[in-house]
Amino acid sequence: MKNIFIPILLVLCTTISCTPTDEQCVNEPLAKNDSVSDSHSYSNHSEIRTTHIHLDLDVNFEEKIIYGVARHQMSSSTVSKAIFDMKGLDIQKITLGKNNELETDYTIGKTDPIKGSPLTVNINPGTEYINIYYQTTKETEALDWLSPELTAGKKHPYLYTQGQAILTRSWIPIQDTPMNRITYSADVKVPTELIALMSADNPKEKDSEGRYHFEMKQAIPAYLIALVVGDMEYTSIGKYSGVYSEPELSKQCSYEFVDLPKMINVAEDIYGEYRWDQFDLVILPYSFPFGGMENPRLTFANPTLIAGDRSLISVIAHELAHSWSGNLVTNATWNDFWLNEGFTVYFENRIMEKMYGKEIAEINAVIEYQDLLTSIETIKQSEHPEDSQLKLQLKHRNPDDGMTDIAYVKGAFFLRTLERIVGRTKFDEFLKNYFDSHAFETITTESFVQYLNTELLTPNNIDFNANEWIYHAGIPENCIQIHSKRLTEMEAWASEINGGNAVFTNEYKNIKRADRVTQEWQAFVRKLSPELPTEVLNEIDSKLKLSEEANPAIKSDWFILNVNAGNKTIRPFMEAYLIKIGRRWYIESIYQALVDSKLKGDKEFAIATFEKAKRGYHFVSKSTIEEVLK
Ligand code: BES
Ligand code: ZN
């Protein structure tokens, strides 16, 4: 029945701007964020909100504790309570006022395993300053305290934070919702042999007293506040960009990321001015759970990106793209996460196309599409088959559940399909205006749909099934298909091997790994059959050195194939890989393959390896793998 009514509902619901599948489909437009609530935050930010926060932080490596004061400057209001989010923090006291601070009462509500607790502070009408004195605890999920052996230099400890999605509240008591944007400043004290960096203006050199001051003058959501402390130096690459890394890695970084300045120019050519003045990277240790994290002015990057051949640079294009989609125009709630990531994957691919040509961009898109098909199948079988809608329903769930290929790849294909229908010139103009007109704002899916209708679809008389894409599971039929000749060739080679042909005949006789890009090897490996005999897999491995020397993206796919094929030869390499690398998407699928394996001992191997590896994983990866192994 739903299907019969889709066309009518589509028309209705695009104009009244709400979800056709939602029972709350009433005539109230959700264009203003005031009428939207973020189920992942306890804060009463629509009544009283932080406009600026100043952090006084003392980073103590011996105790693995940050001693902090969060000085909130509030909007004017007449309410008697301000509610903040917190999780795993010890609150010492709370005061009101700027120069003359007076203690006030507060309560900490019941702890929810995902959201933490509401911290309710008694205030007076007109209270402008609320100062929360606190310290972090062992339960602090955002912080990764690393002992020296987990760093490149192995001499100094290291600390970094991961705020997205709702972990900032575990190191700062704050209104932790993307719906509120704030400016921030900080005074941070660290051991003198280390440097502190934030998602703000940053020092180029160490301070002899270990004291650093930071300012972030552009308003950002709480999840983008970030801190990293370690033995690092700065390598400038161009006027407005460079890389912070442990000194051991500086040389490799200046080679790998040489294209940064050009990349910024290319991005600006597409969607207008870069608004954050500086675009630096910091290379984190291997435990970092993501490929990259778009902390403004200071993208956090995984050391696995230093592939030695610039082949994983698309991750940097991705994080740079977030300077528009995500950081400038931000998803209002985590249900709207695709507005951050889908737009970013689309923009990332446009940057790649302009930098390295259409062929490379297509290769990337095809591999992404393969990932999407796999994810859709997994989601279909899962507890939440509705998760393949772009608009998510994550109430009472961990917003991390939304970090799937749906937001990323289905989101990007939504935009690619639209681009194909509208034409690139018109579409670019539309997106540029979207970023400009919503700069430094947050936006819901519903407001976006409204904007899409009034600015693009209606004026151009275009019929587009936006609501099917956004509110229905799966991939709509009009999704464009992208092909890549180069990937097809690699797949054809794999098919021949699957069919029983010798591996390295004729044209492949002299092939070396460096002759093909990462994604071509991924396509090849993914097409190889798990039915192949162990000897064939080992022959491929001994010639191409996939287990030993390939970059992590290829290794991940290779290890999964070998687990599925029951080939134990690769185990020592796989074990070393799982112990070294903490990047969630890379390791999660290997652990999953081991758990799903029918081969005796695979699950036990996964559990034993995790035991050895987990001290090198951030909370985010650790909890995901624990879930997989359950
Ligand atoms: N913002 C994300 C990382 C993230 C998402 C952290 C949700 C926590 C919650 C980042 O921009 C990202 O997408 N990283 C990807 C890069 C890839 C898609 C190029 C990653 O880590 O793999
Ligand atoms: Zn992203």
Which pLDDT band, with edges at 50, 70 and 90, does 34 fall under? Answer: low
Residue among 95, 187, 84 at smallest CA distance from 133: 95
pTM to 2 decimal places: 0.94
- In one letter, which amino acid is 552? P
Asked if the model's pLDDT at residue 10 lies above 50, the reply is no
Q: What residue has token string 């051949």?
A: 309
Q: Which residues contact 561 (CB under 8 A, 6 or more apart)?
A: 525, 526, 528, 530, 537
- What are the pLDDT digits (tens) for 451-504? 999 999 999 999 999 999 999 999 999 999 999 999 999 999 999 999 999 999
Where does 465-517 have alpha helices with state H? 466-471, 485-498
The one-character DSSP state at 453 is: I
| Angle made by CA atoms 495, 500, 505, in degrees to the nearest 5 | 80
Residue 291 beta carbon below 6 angstroms from any ligand 1 atom? yes
The architecture of the domain spanning 489-629 is Alpha Horseshoe (1.25)
Whole-angstrom CA distances from 568 to 259, 394, 533, 534, 560 are 40, 39, 12, 9, 11
Which 3 state secondary structure label does DSSP give 356? helix
What is the distance between the alpha carbons of residues 468 and 10, in angstroms, rounded to a whole number? 8
| Angle made by CA atoms 5, 11, 16, in degrees to the nearest 5 | 115
Residue 388 beta carbon below 6 angstroms from any ligand 1 atom? no
Asked if the model's pLDDT at residue 50 lies above 50, the reply is yes
State which of 290, 369, 581, 619 you would mutate to test the pocket of ligand 1, scoring each by most atoms of that ligand within 8 A of its C-beta: 290
- Ligand at minimal distance from the CA of 624 is 1
Asked if the model's pLDDT at residue 607 lies above 60, the reply is yes
Parts of the chain belonging to CATH 2.60.40.1730: 44-176+180-244+285-307
Residue 523 beta carbon below 6 angstroms from any ligand 1 atom? no
What is the distance between the alpha carbons of residues 448 and 30, in angstroms, rounded to a whole number? 10
CA nearest ligand 1 atom 8, residue? 164
State which of 341, 349, 409, 583 you would mutate to test the pocket of ligand 1, scoring each by most atoms of that ligand within 8 A of its C-beta: 341
Average pLDDT over residues 192-205: 98
Asked if the model's pLDDT at residue 5 lies above 60, the reply is no
Quickly count: other Cβ atoms within 10 Å of residue 195's Cβ: 22
Q: Is-contact 284 618, C-beta < 8 A?
A: no
According to DSSP, the residues that pair with 299 across neighbouring strands are 281
Residue 345, judged by CB atoms within 10 A of its CB (0-12, 13-18, 19+), counts as buried
Fold of 44-176+180-244+285-307: Immunoglobulin-like (2.60.40)
Phi-psi region of 79 (alpha: psi -120 to 50; beta: other; left: phi over 0): beta
What is the distance between the alpha carbons of residues 416 and 493, in angstroms, rounded to a whole number? 29
φ and ψ at residue 194, rounded to 5 degrees? -115, 165
Parts of the chain belonging to CATH 1.25.40.320: 489-629
Parts of the chain belonging to CATH 1.10.390.10: 332-471
Which pLDDT band, with edges at 50, 70 and 90, does 35 fall under? Answer: confident
Fold of 332-471: Neutral Protease; domain 2 (1.10.390)
What is the distance between the alpha carbons of residues 436 and 273, in angstroms, rounded to a whole number? 10
Helices 571-580 & 584-596 angle (0-180, nearest 10): 140
- What are the pLDDT digits (tens) for 435-447? 999 999 999 999 9
Ligand 1 center to 92 CA (angstroms): 34
First to last CA, the chain: 39
Write down the pLDDT at residue 316.
98
- Residues belonging to the chain: 630
Mean per-residue pLDDT over the chain, rounded: 94
- In one letter, which amino acid is 179? M
- What are the pLDDT digits (tens) for 64-75? 999 999 999 999
